[in-house]
Amino acid sequence: MTTQGNETLYITTAIDYVNGKPHLGHAYEKMATDAIARAFKAMHVPTYFLTGVDEHGIKVEQNAAKHEKSPKAYVDELTQSFTQLWQHCDVAYDRFIRTTENQHYDLVAQLWQRLLDKGDIYKASYEGKYCTGCEAFLNERDLNETGHCLVHKTTPEIVLEENYFFRLSRYKQPLLDYFESHPDFVQPAFRKAEVVNMLENLQDISVSRSRKAVTWGIPVPNDDEQVIYVWIDALSNYLTGLNYLHADDALFQRFWTTADGHPNAVHIIGKDILRFHAIYWPAMLMSAELPLPKTVFAHGFITLEDAKISKSIGNVISPFEITAEYDLPNADTLRYYLLTCTPFGNDGNFSIQDFKLKVNADLANNLGNLLNRSLSMVNKYFEGDLPVYDANASEPLFADLQEQTALRDAVELAYRAYDFQKVASLLLERVDLANRAINDLQPWTLHKEGQTQRLAALLYSILEAVRLVAILFQPILPNLSQDILNQLGFGTHAFTSFQDIDGLRFSQTEAHRVNPTGPLIPRLDSELVGADKKK
């Protein structure tokens, strides 16, 4: 299957607001987007993956003051905690953007001027309810029955300012028309009605704040008394990330639209900022006469033991803490659990007990045990050299273990649909088939009876199934997949694509030396945790 014609992919995450250190919720979005980007690259689709941080705004300014630091020093320190975590989680982005970059300042100023020249920005006095957590003025529909913000459960402050406004109301019908003609623009599909409902009573929005309220931001061109509102600043990062309006804009020309001019960008965001990405952002792009993204995909929240992750509640947990708790060298097990515990797009829950059960069952007991006992038998019965596959000793079961085209096509379709659960299901089915083959055909009995050729064919076919699984699992399990390939005897082969299924093969003319190094991962049981950690 792989790449289709002139297909390319520009995939982005929301840029994280640096008013605190990253936690499990931040990691979920980045891991999922990374897996999608890795999968499309493995299908030979030219892909550009952008993530980053949003470093402006009143909350940053306030928190910096509390820590007796300048806003720049404060964001420099926090941004490092984000990049360190993404490295630990193997989030292999192509560009990490910071909204304090000079290039971003220049782009935002030029985009502002375009909207102004279009007649879509004007200045007016305004009194409204402002939520510092949302960095937004709220309407009555954004409040609960007690007048609190639906997201942050806090009472918004009443703000009276003279600000600049964007004529969002002008784009109500164009947006409705676009949603109708592009049914896949908002994903998952059940979010579309939610967005259309947001367009009722659409009002113009404030796109600046007075310097009396906030100074940490990009100045409004030709008006030193105003700072550009954080959302028009933050959303523009998707253009900065491709060097739009830069002297060298080759990235923008290649990735913002396909070669034949169709929308190409995919924004992966949390459902709480859907309004800004599915209404504000496309309206601004329409004003600037730029193509809209292909898809805005809003994923759900990850709760922690069924409670919303929140700094105020005190239940924030970092992937660093989870991997350290079980002495794991990387975040692959966490990636696996988060991406397969719930359909991408729905809310999910992180439970320590469920995490251990799922990782133990799927990765340690199922896949890991299959690899370990298969390699042990190659060592025991063939002194570590996987024999040449004898097609004459084959039978239908062996062919099923080695089948690759249908499996690869099905897995690629699942990755294209962001269906990580389906990917895992397809690959674990092959693992189950291999485990059943061992239990049913009993290699130890074949050895005892002297059926050497049939034993060789069976072990070859089982390890061939493991090889296929390792290659196709790589976007979700980059480290474990490489470890499997290393133990299968392929050295430190650098994974490049799903085409390795065809090229990275066991020899059919000479014995292949395997390299078992022990269990794939330890079981995540309490006895593995030190006394201090237990306490």
**Predicted confidence (pLDDT) per residue in 425-444, tens digit:** 999 999 999 999 999 999 99
* 9-46 per-residue burial string, b: 16 or more CB within 10 A, e: under 16: bbbbbbbbbbbebbbbbbbbbbbbbbbbbbbbbbbebe
The C-alpha atoms of residue 180 and residue 67 are separated, in whole angstroms, by 49
The average pLDDT across 204-224 equals 92
Quick check: is 447 catalytic?
Answer: no
In whole angstroms, how far apart are CA 21 and each of 81, 86, 188, 310, 373?
6, 12, 29, 12, 42
Question: What is residue 495's predicted lDDT score, i.e. its pLDDT?
Answer: 67
Contact (CB, 8 A) for 159 and 137: yes
pLDDT in tens, 159-195: 777 899 999 999 999 999 999 999 999 999 999 999 9
Quick check: is 89 catalytic?
Answer: no
User: 120 or 140, which is more confident?
Assistant: 120
In whole angstroms, how far apart are CA 84 and each of 41, 78, 338, 343?
23, 10, 19, 27
Question: For residue 360, what are its two tokens?
Answer: 């133990």
pLDDT in tens, 372-415: 999 999 999 999 999 887 766 667 778 899 999 999 999 999 99
Quick check: is 41 catalytic?
Answer: no
pLDDT band, residue 528 (cuts 50/70/90): very low
Amino acid symbol at 394: S
DSSP one-letter code for 218: P
Question: What is residue 252's predicted lDDT score, i.e. its pLDDT?
Answer: 96
Task: Please name each of the domains of the chain with its CATH number.
Answer: 9-299 (3.40.50.620), 352-526 (1.10.730.10)
Question: What is residue 493's predicted lDDT score, i.e. its pLDDT?
Answer: 64
- 275 φ, ψ to 5°? -55, -45
Contact (CB, 8 A) for 16 and 82: yes
Spot the catalytic one: 149, 277, 299, 358. Answer: 149
Which of these ranges, 106-110, 299-303, 426-430, has the smallest mean pLDDT? 299-303
The C-alpha atoms of residue 304 and residue 457 are separated, in whole angstroms, by 47
Q: What average pLDDT does the structure give for the chain?
A: 90
Please say if the pLDDT value at position 313 is more than 60: no
Quick check: is 134 catalytic?
Answer: yes
Quick check: is 23 catalytic?
Answer: yes
Please say if the pLDDT value at position 526 is more than 50: no
Spot the catalytic one: 129, 134, 341, 356. Answer: 134
Spot the catalytic one: 23, 104, 277, 299. Answer: 23
Spot the catalytic one: 30, 104, 129, 131. Answer: 131
Beta-carbon count within 10 A of 346 CB: 12
Centroid of chain to Cα 88: 14
Quick check: is 172 catalytic?
Answer: no
Q: Which helix (H) or strand (E) holds 83?
A: helix 71-88
Please say if the pLDDT value at position 243 is more than 60: yes
Spot the catalytic one: 44, 148, 152, 246. Answer: 152
Quick check: is 341 catalytic?
Answer: no
The C-alpha atoms of residue 466 and residue 471 are separated, in whole angstroms, by 9
Spot the catalytic one: 262, 311, 380, 448. Answer: 311
Centroid of chain to Cα 2: 20
Helices (H), 276-351: 281-287, 319-325, 332-340
Quick check: is 308 catalytic?
Answer: yes
**122: helix, strand or coil:** strand
Question: What is residue 533's predicted lDDT score, i.e. its pLDDT?
Answer: 41
Spot the catalytic one: 26, 59, 129, 512. Answer: 26
pLDDT band, residue 532 (cuts 50/70/90): very low
Instruction: Return the half-sphere exposure (C-beta side, CA atoms, 13 A cut-off) of residue 31.
Output: 29
The average pLDDT across 40-69 equals 94
